[in-house]
Amino acid sequence: MAESPAATRERLRVVGRRLPRHDARDKVLARTLYAADWQMPGMLEGAVLRSPYPAARITRIDTSRAAACPGVAAVLTARDVPHNILWTDVPGQTSVVGPLRARVQVLADDQVRYQGEAVALVAAETREIADRALELIDVAYEAQPGVFTTEDALRPDAPRVHEEGNVLATWRVRCGDADTALARAHAVVEQTYRCGLIDHAYLEPEAGVAWIDADGVVVVRASTQVIEHFRDVADVLGLPHNKVRVIGPYVGGGFGGKEDVTVEVFLGLLAYRTGRPVRMVWSRQESLLARPKRHPFTLRYRTGAARDGTLLAHRIELTADAGAYAYLSALVLLYATVTAAGPYRVPHVAVDARAVYTNNPPTSAMRGFGAMQMVLGYESQIDQIARRLGLDPVEVRRRSALRRGDRLPVGQALDTHVAVAEAAERAWAALGPPRAPSSPRHRVGRGLACNLQPYGRLVWLRDWASAWVGLEADGSVVVRCGVPDVGGGQASSLCQIAAEALGVEPDRVTVHIADSALTPLAGTTTATRQLYMSGNAVLVAATQLHDEVRRVAARLLETPVEQVALADGAATAGPERRVLLADVVKECARLGVPRSHLGVYHAPAGDPVDLERGGGRVFPDYTFGAHAVEVEVDVDTGAASVRRHVACHDVGRAINPQSVEGQVQGGAVMGLGYGLMEEIIVDRGVNLTTSFASYLIPSALDVPDVEPIIIESGDGKGPFAARGIGEPPIGPPAAAIANAVEDAVGVRITDLPITPEKIARALGLLSGG
Amino acid sequence: MTELRIAFTLNGEPCEAQTAAHRTLLEVLRARGAVDVKEGCGEGVCGTCTVLLDGEPVSSCLVLAARAQGRDLMTVRGLGDAGAPHPLQSAFVAHGAAQCGFCTPGMLLTAYALLRDRPRASRAEIRRAIAGNLCRCTGYTKIIDAIAACAEGAARG
Amino acid sequence: MPAAPFDYEAPATLADALDLLRERGEDARPLAGGQSLVPLLTLRLARPRLVVDLDRLHELRAVRRTPGALEVGALVRHRALERGEGLLALCPLLQEAAALIGNARVRALGTVGGSVAHADPAAELPAVLRALDGAVVLRSARGERVVDAGDFFVGMLTTALAPGELLTAVRLPLPSPGAGFAVEEFSRRAGDFAVVAAVAVVELDGGAVARARVALAGVGPVPARLDRLEAALRGERLESGAIRRAVAERPLEIDPEGDIHASAEYRRHLAAVLTARALERAAEAAGRAIV
């Protein structure tokens, strides 16, 4: 690097500042119009009829009574859908990698495979009429045997969820010789872990409005992380891709749950059929019932270590419940497979992973995406090794922590800074001296967990993002970028980056986002990729613009271009000579010099690699971190509460430290919910937790203040050396709690969530325990 | 099905609405354009639909619209506007307390009622007061920071 | 989802309300604070033809003192209990229990009568009513009857209320001035319904237990009283560990069922833990009151 991290920090004026976000100003004034807030003249209300059965054949559907109901504009079933297939594989997939191809039926044709699967659509003058019409649709189901556990699904005689069989995808990693290394290891720990089915539970349920615009284009304005779903809507409707437009308003939380199509295709169908605007808003109960969730995994780990605690080998078997449709399961499983050995140097690793169909709710993307489930496995294992060998939890991790230049078991060499050991040390130290228990019936314990999480997408997807940056005649700046903003500050960060590059204050920048017709496409707001990808695209465009403007300013200032700097809305050459940016722009116009640029950023790309043979780069890069928690356990009830939580991640460079802290704190608390209380409970395919009274996410009283420690190593692949931070903080909390509970009361909990009842049972407090 | 005509005050303005009796206050407010009231769960658990009914925070999804007759309602738009934001609104921006922003209107109204009744509320009291308003983005710390900054006796700057 | 349509009446007098309830029988549901009924309506788990809004019946908001007891009108809100407004301050147990009900928004609108008549087995106030040997006042167009709490709760969400009958007040016998009380509640998330809650009231006489009462929520279809334990504690001196021993010595007379929040076994365990904790704290408070 030409410049030291400290020197870069010194040079930056806007990047690195704790700037209030422009979207926050709108949000506190309630000016933001979320998807459900949109109204149009003559708008109909749409609703979905869903299967009450997890496995059934549809023998008959009669929509005549519903269609005859006054105020009903359309009733649609599978036979009304022009192309009743929705591809749910990775958006923008460029190489056909078998397991990643996946599809669902838009509306159930003759078979339903999970409770809540969509069977019919209604559009009506009011929501009430729509609900009434749903009740009038007569569907005859013939219930069929289903499979509801991965164990059952894998039996040879199991009912097949899909014709091709119940194993949806498998991945294997072989690095070194795990079995031999385990046989020779000084200490071997073997354990099976289970992590549960959970929901994104963003506060804004799925919603959108669709209409046919004056030019005949079908427009869908919906709460989504992926405006590129315009292609899916077009494919289902049988329209050219350029006749569908998706507009993404500010999203009331996504976390991966708005990565797959939700309302978009239904809205497109209803608007296209009726020719009228249609709104669809799912209820919370519908959202909890019907939308894909996080994969439950069974993780079986055998881990071997040397006498000094150095990790030698892992043999890992992973089984994920994909539910009834593939969605992104094969990709989630790939993330799990690649990261299953954790942020450690482990010379011998064998991973066998499979994802299995069941008649449970489908599972797909959620923050952490397969990689986060692994943390419970590898961090519980290393903790038990430390305990077995009498080692300090930080020391055992430091010994095997990955460093720059090390290779992951899949063969990828790490070519940026790796802050695992530093993060572990700093998080652990920040817990400070232990605190006394709050009563004689409480015990206090501490736990540590490290993780790695990719940022950016699989290199063989050849990911790219584009953004347009322009200067207006008055010197104000416009950014256009197809990035959906899901609340993480995606849009405001782009303003900061453009402002930095062009030497203006951020409030001189306006950003237009997430319109597939009008903003350059930037790809999905998923995979911890937007700051990295769109940030780089904006930086490319703004830098090109900067260079042009600077050349013209040099002419105006009659000075060599190297002496010109853009700052404070002006071009300057030394303290004396200064010309306003507005005047430079006018000069550009006079000279015919472009005042805008389209920037395209291409991520590191590669061909699909054979994981088993250690093919090389799989992801552009990874973000590393560590969390330390102090837990108090009530030895009578088994209740564990987290009293302190320190979360440390290397973000390369914090573009906006306040947004970074927000991601870290929010991700950590979501991880605490995963660790302590969240669980979608499904009984033979029937979801028993379809309300916010039964699906528990943490309230302010259930979690402590999470103390963020932000490491800025000055090394990363994003703009200004930033690394992604959207997903990483959700990984460590559950494992850190499990480790802290063992530290406090000596029992190892291996199933999530770590409920009071499980701890009480492990403590032998229950008679049947 | 009973149709009702109800009159109430919304953010200081007299209002009338025609509604079926089975509609909730949340539905009626949103239908008349008060979309600053958000629906998050429809069960009174999440707090996104919080409004002040005669000054008290309530779940507008759990109040039949008929109950608004003759009452005083306040939504977040009554708290302040772009020209004169309420200090809590400014603090939420300054402290990064709004991420996706969907819980923000309800959170602000709950905080407003708390500080009106307990101007010197401690951090622990704030935590307890907002426990009925769920947030999935922030982890709550920055929300509590913002409210604490508006409590009397808070260190300024 | 919007509620299914229904007719709506907001009678101005109790007599009118009772007439409506009599005429419409099981088609009608009375609406108090709405914090239990409205979600049942909007989730379409209840579809009454008529909702009788009690909001205008100011006589149901009264709190009266009768000899040895408080009579709390059905429409008195949890918030008033929590704050110990007026005569309610005479029974501070209500403050402790009400503070545990739901969230602040529920407490702002929810009512004593609504909670008791809804009879959720995990709710706090039915257990308080049981612990205090309280009763409910039921009115109908035919007249009034008073039913002991022990007879009022019949099953899960089921009470002795007959069609056409309205719960108008609860009667809470006041414990003797030196009594100590405590509510211990265990929930999966702050502010949620209890998994198990224990309400204890202890009266001492010269350092020994004159009377101890315990009611439990969340351990069966109706709030439970622990008669055998209460009898065993009578006359017991409260050296350290005595209560825990007494609780541990005999199985609690409860038969909980498991659900998604806790197994039957864990509920039974929690019941013992919370019973002991509530009794100990109540006894301590009673001891302090004597000093």
Q: Which residues span the domain enclosing A223?
A: 35-144+206-281
| DSSP codes joined into one string, A567-588 | ETTEEEETTTEEEEHHHHHHHH
Candidates C5, C189, C266; nearest CB to A702: C189
A639 in the same domain as A563: no
Query: From CA B111, how far away is CA B94, in angstroms rounded?
Result: 16
For residue B109, the chain C residue with the least C-alpha distance is C105
Stretch A690-700: mean pLDDT: 96
A431 in the same domain as A489: no
Query: From CA C216, how far away is CA C256, in angstroms rounded?
Result: 11
A419-454 burial, b at 16+ Cβ within 10 Å, e below that, comes to bbbbbbbbbbeebeeeeebeeeebbbbbbbbbbbbb
pLDDT for C93:
97
pLDDT for A286:
97
Other CB atoms within a 10 A radius of the CB of residue A213 amount to 11
Candidates C190, C260, C273; nearest CB to A694: C260
pLDDT for A1:
44
Confidence of residue C290 (pLDDT cuts 50, 70, 90): low
The answer to whether the beta carbons of residues C72 and C78 sit under 8 Å apart is no
**Chains with ≥3 Cβ pairs under 8 A against A?**
B, C
- The owner of tokens 């699909």 is A608
Query: From CA A267, how far away is CA A257, in angstroms rounded?
Result: 18
Given an 8 Å threshold on Cβ–Cβ distance, is B24 in contact with C42? yes
pLDDT digit string (tens) for A44-78? 999 999 999 999 999 999 999 999 999 999 999 99
A263 in the same domain as A319: no
The enclosing domain of A425 has a CATH number of: 3.30.365.10
Q: In what order do the strands lie in the sheet with C7-9?
A: C7-9, C50-53, C28-31
Q: Measure in Å the smallest separation between the Cα of B151 and chain C Cα atoms.
A: 19
Query: From CA A113, how far away is CA A15, in angstroms rounded?
Result: 49
Residues of C in contact with A701 (CB under 8 A): 190-191
pLDDT digit string (tens) for A373-429? 999 999 999 999 999 999 999 999 999 999 999 999 999 999 999 999 999 999 999
A203 and chain C: CB distance < 8 Å anywhere?
Answer: no
A222 in the same domain as A93: yes
Confidence of residue C207 (pLDDT cuts 50, 70, 90): confident
A338 in the same domain as A477: no
CA distances to B47, C256, C273 from A768, in Å? 39, 15, 17
Backbone angles phi, psi at C67, to 5 degrees: -55, 115
CA C188 to chain centre: 20
Stretch A631-643: mean pLDDT: 98
- Determine the Cα angle at A409 with ends A407 and A411, to 5°: 55
Given an 8 Å threshold on Cβ–Cβ distance, is A755 in contact with C188? yes
Mean pLDDT over each residue of chain C, to the nearest integer: 94
pLDDT for C133:
97
Share of chain C above pLDDT 70, in %: 99
A324 in the same domain as A276: no
Q: Which of residues 709-748 of A touch B (CB under 8 A)?
A: none
pLDDT for A94:
66
Residues of B in contact with C42 (CB under 8 A): 24, 42, 61
Specify if A153 maps to a domain: no
- Which class does domain C58-173 fall in? alpha beta
Say which CATH superfamily domain B3-78 falls into: Beta-grasp domain (3.10.20.30)
pLDDT at C21 over 90: yes
Specify if A424 maps to a domain: yes
pLDDT digit string (tens) for A75-93? 999 999 999 999 988 776 7
A361 in the same domain as A470: no
C105 and chain A: CB distance < 8 Å anywhere?
Answer: no
Mean pLDDT over each residue of chain A, to the nearest integer: 96
Q: Which CATH architecture has domain B87-150?
A: Orthogonal Bundle (1.10)
Specify if A195 maps to a domain: no
Interface with A, mutate which of B28, B32, B141 (most A CBs under 10 A): B141
B104 and chain A: CB distance < 8 Å anywhere?
Answer: yes
β pairing state of C196-205 and C180-186:
antiparallel
Q: Measure in Å the smallest separation between the Cα of C185 and chain A Cα atoms.
A: 11
For residue B46, the chain C residue with the least C-alpha distance is C103
Query: From CA C13, how far away is CA C6, in angstroms rounded?
Result: 21
Specify if A397 maps to a domain: yes
Cβ burial, residue A243 (10 Å; 0-12/13-18/19+): middle
A236 in the same domain as A305: no
Given an 8 Å threshold on Cβ–Cβ distance, is B96 in contact with A34? no
CA distances to A32, A161, A355, A646, C36 from A318, in Å? 43, 20, 8, 29, 43
Beta strand segments in A358-391, E: none
Share of chain B above pLDDT 70, in %: 98
β pairing state of A442-455 and A565-567:
unpaired
Share of chain A above pLDDT 90, in %: 94
Parse chain B into domains and list their residue ranges: 3-78, 87-150
CATH label, C180-290, candidates 3.40.50.11540, 3.40.190.10, 3.40.91.50, 3.30.390.50: 3.30.390.50
pLDDT digit string (tens) for A707-752? 999 999 999 999 999 999 999 999 999 999 999 999 999 999 999 9
Select from A580, A602, A624 the last residue of a domain.
Answer: A602
Stretch B87-92: mean pLDDT: 98
pLDDT digit string (tens) for A463-494? 999 999 999 999 999 999 999 999 999 999 99
pLDDT for A612:
85
A357 in the same domain as A336: yes
ipTM of the complex: 0.97
Query: From CA A489, how far away is CA A511, in angstroms rounded?
Result: 12
pLDDT digit string (tens) for A367-389? 999 999 999 999 999 999 999 99
C7-53 under CATH 3.40.50.150, yes or no: no
Residues of B in contact with C1 (CB under 8 A): 42
Query: From CA A429, how far away is CA A650, in angstroms rounded?
Result: 16
Q: How many domains does chain A have?
A: 3
The stretches of A280-419 forming alpha helices (DSSP H) are: 284-290, 329-339, 371-389, 393-400
Candidates A127, A696, A767; nearest CB to C265: A767
pLDDT digit string (tens) for A233-256? 999 999 999 999 999 999 999 999
For residue B39, the chain C residue with the least C-alpha distance is C1
The enclosing domain of A73 has a CATH number of: 3.90.1170.50
Share of chain A above pLDDT 70, in %: 99
A426 and chain C: CB distance < 8 Å anywhere?
Answer: no
Give the CA count within 13 Å in the CB-facing half-sphere of A735.
27
Structure tokens at A342: 């954790």
C57-70 burial, b at 16+ Cβ within 10 Å, e below that, comes to beebbbbeeeeebb
pLDDT at A2 over 80: no
Given an 8 Å threshold on Cβ–Cβ distance, is A696 in contact with C2? no
Confidence of residue A769 (pLDDT cuts 50, 70, 90): very low
The answer to whether the beta carbons of residues A689 and A753 sit under 8 Å apart is no
A443 in the same domain as A544: no
Given an 8 Å threshold on Cβ–Cβ distance, is B24 in contact with C190? no
Residues of C in contact with B50 (CB under 8 A): 105
pLDDT for A608:
84
How long a stretch of residues is chain A? 769
pLDDT for A334:
96
pLDDT for A701:
96
B3 and chain C: CB distance < 8 Å anywhere?
Answer: no
Parse chain C into domains and list their residue ranges: 7-53, 58-173, 180-290
A272 in the same domain as A138: yes
pLDDT for B157:
41
Confidence of residue C74 (pLDDT cuts 50, 70, 90): very high
Confidence of residue A8 (pLDDT cuts 50, 70, 90): confident
Q: Measure in Å the smallest separation between the Cα of C189 and chain A Cα atoms.
A: 7
How long a stretch of residues is chain C? 291
Candidates B1, B64, B131; nearest CB to C190: B131
A741 in the same domain as A674: yes
Select from A551, A578, A602 the last residue of a domain.
Answer: A602
Confidence of residue A768 (pLDDT cuts 50, 70, 90): low
Specify if A290 maps to a domain: no
pLDDT for C291:
52
Q: Which of A522, A401, A418 is nearest to A468 (CA)?
A: A522
